[in-house]
Structure 1
Amino acid sequence: MSKRDIILEAIIQEYLSSGEPIGSSELQKCMDIEISPSTIRIYLNKLSKEGALVQLHVSSGRVPTNNALIEYWVNRLNPMKTIEIVDIDKFENLANECSLFCVVQKSTEEFLKEIIEVSNRFLILTFDTQEVVLKYNEQVQRFLSNLIGSEMRELKNISSQVGLRELYDKLDQILNHEPLLSVGVDQLYEIAREQNDSSFINKLLNNEFSFGLKDGVYFNGFVPYGCLAVKQLATIEKKSASLFYFGEIGSNFEGFINQGESK
């Protein structure tokens, strides 16, 4: 790793820890390798010209820019890794300490296996572990027969699009179960107040929305500027789960995950 990258990483980590602007002398004290304050100042100036750092006031230290933090998190976070949640209460406390909105949901996929007609009175839709009973309708039976193998959420969306209200309501009731953990709603509203924009709140509070996301790190455009969201798989008590967390980009996402996995 070059001196430039070492210094940038050090200032980002110190900023994530303290939330305060960092000067060359303070940075030199917290670094693992010996670099003189004068050399650090040269690199801080270079990084500022590159747009990785910004000096809020002439007499103050520097802080990482939004783009520098995005690059840092994209390189540091691994959304393809399955997180083992050892203690759900500890996980909740960590989310609060890190000022994050966090949702953990059971990760169950249900596929339509068959459709059973009962005496021209009912249709029984059989999924992996669930059954849905509908009033008999020949056209509905023919339509749904072409959708055998569809996942329940996909079928719910299709039923909404074509106006199968009875099916939509019953699938929605099954799918709209309470998450294992939902914490940090107050943080959503605080960010909305700071940004003067609450349009993203309902989207993030919709459990189906976060569940349907692909695993990944999400930033500008998907979430408000200056914020970050992560979706990845998790396990809790050896069962599959879906993990979604969101907060300001200067939040300690890495500490949240690392401490959340420790026993």
Structure 2
Amino acid sequence: MINKSEYILKSIIKTYLEEQNPIGSMLLQDNLNVPASTIRVYFKRLDLEGYICKLHASGGRIPTQKAMQQYWQNYFSKQKEITLKNTYTLLNINKDYELFAMLIDNFDYELKEVLNINEQFILLNFNAMQAILDYSEDRFNFFSQFLNLNLASIKIILNKLALNYELKQINKMQNDGIYYLCGEKKFANIVKLNSFNSILNSNLLDYFNNDLVFSELFLPENMGVSLDCFYLNKKCKLILAGSIYTNYEEVLNSLKEAM
């Protein structure tokens, strides 16, 4: 059962996401029907615990990055697969919420065949997608041992062995699985790396071992989320990235309403 401190913190966060202004005790008093004096006691406690902070001496409070990370981790852990009929809604989200969006195949594939094409090429058959490599006997034997292994595991092995050519060819195959992309400028402003060319493609999916990514990839007060999505009769991933203070509840509701 949620305690009063958690209840007030959640109310601060939800109100801040709607108002985008510091939250005072009087506003919460009206919203929660709790005396302002009681709310101020919890303000002090939450401030000491690092969940809220004051921007100005006499101003209201805003949730900290710590609070927002916990809030979104809890929120997105309960989300189910969403369905997209078209990409117009993603363009609207990019404009309305200043979000980066990428709709991409989830690449949940296994290596089904390793074919020797006239000792000139090697064809790696991952279900509905194929990667083509220059032939060598060692390379053919190397990949033959990975039959029925999933694509993600194979890429981990290639990364560990620094087999850059093989990775490049597989990434080239995966780039064909990007169905939509918008908000590249936004992404450039919030990503940690000086150059984002190496990840503004199918490689971006490799950073989302967990559904949510914070400081591992993004600058402070920013985040990315990977959502299970169904598009064009395919299981996909929808990656959204932007400010940690964006109202992602509204974003997801707008996607669901467009179904």
1:199 aligned to 2:198?
A: no
1:118–1:124: 8 Å Cα contact kept in structure 2? yes
Q: State whether structure 2 residue 230 is matched by structure 1 residue 229.
A: no
Q: Does 1:20 align with 2:21?
A: yes
Shift of the 176–49 alpha-carbon distance from structure 1 to 2, 3 Å rule, reads same
Deviates more, 1:241-250 or 1:112-121: 112-121
- Give the equivalent residue in structure 2 for 1:40: 39
Deviations 1:148-174 (A, max 9, x none): 234456556766847584x65543432
Identify which range, 208-217 or 118-127, moves more after superposition: 118-127
Q: How does 1:7-156 map to 2 (within 5 A)?
A: 7-29=8-30, 31=31, 33-78=32-77, 81-117=80-116, 123-131=122-130, 137-152=136-151, 155=154
Q: Structure 2-normalised TM-score?
A: 0.81
Task: State which drifts further: 34-43 or 144-153.
Answer: 144-153
Q: Aligned partners of 2:56 and 2:130: how far apart in 1?
A: 63
Q: 1:208 to 1:80 in 2, by over 3 A?
A: farther
The C-alpha deviation readout for 1:53-107, integer Å capped at 9, x for no partner, is 1111112111111111111111222276322224421132123312221211123
Kept after mapping to 1: 8 A contact 2:106/2:236: yes
TM-aligned CA distance change 1:111 to 1:71, over 3 Å? closer
| Separation in 2, partners of 1:118, 1:90 | 43
Structure 1 alignment gaps of length 5 or more: none
Q: How far, CA to CA, are the matches of 1:176 and 1:127 in structure 2?
A: 14
Report the CA distance between 1:241 and its aligned residue: 0.5
Task: Find the partner of 2:251 among 248, 256, 263.
Answer: 256
Question: Once the two structures are superposed, what CA deviation does each residue of 1:107-130 show, in whole Å capped at 9, x if it has no partner?
Answer: 344433334446656655444234
SS in 2 for 1:228: strand
CA–CA separation in structure 2 for the residues paired with 1:190 and 1:123: 39
CA contact (8 A) 1:85 1:91 kept: no
The alpha-carbon distance between structure 1 residues 34 and 183, as it changes in their structure 2 partners (threshold 3 A), is same
Evaluate the alpha carbon distance shift between residue 70 and residue 200 of structure 1 in structure 2; reply closer, same or farther with a 3 A threshold.
farther
> What SS class does the counterpart of residue 180 from structure 1 fall into?
strand
Q: Output the aligned Cα RMSD.
A: 3.1
**Cα distance change on mapping 1:169 and 1:210 into 2, 3 Å:** closer
In 2, Cα distance between equivalents of 1:240 and 1:20:
38
Amino acid at match of 1:83: I
User: Structure 2: where are the runs of 5+ without partners?
Assistant: none
Q: Percent identity?
A: 25
Residues 124 and 191 of structure 1: is their aligned pair in 2 closer, same or farther, counting only changes over 3 Å? closer
Aligned residues: 256
Question: Structure 2: how far apart are the matches of 1:78 and 1:212?
Answer: 18
Give deviations 1:194-249, integer Å, cap 9, x for gaps: xxx65374465232232563242222344222222212311124421012111121
Aligned-partner Cα distance in 2 for 1:226–1:260: 23
CA distance in 2, matches of 1:56, 1:10: 18
Return the alpha-carbon distance in structure 1 between the equivalents of residues 11 and 164 of structure 2: 56
Task: Say if 1:96 and 1:183, in contact at 8 Å, map to a contact too.
Answer: no
Name the CA distance, whole Å, in 1 between partners of 2:131 and 2:47: 60
Range moving further from structure 2, 179-188 or 138-147: 138-147
Q: TM-score, normalised by structure 1?
A: 0.80
Please tell me whether Structure 1 or Structure 2 has the larger radius of gyration of its CA atoms. Answer: 1
* Structure 1 residues 254 and 129: alpha-carbon distance in aligned structure 2, compared to 1, 3 A threshold: same
Equivalent in the alignment of 2:234: 239
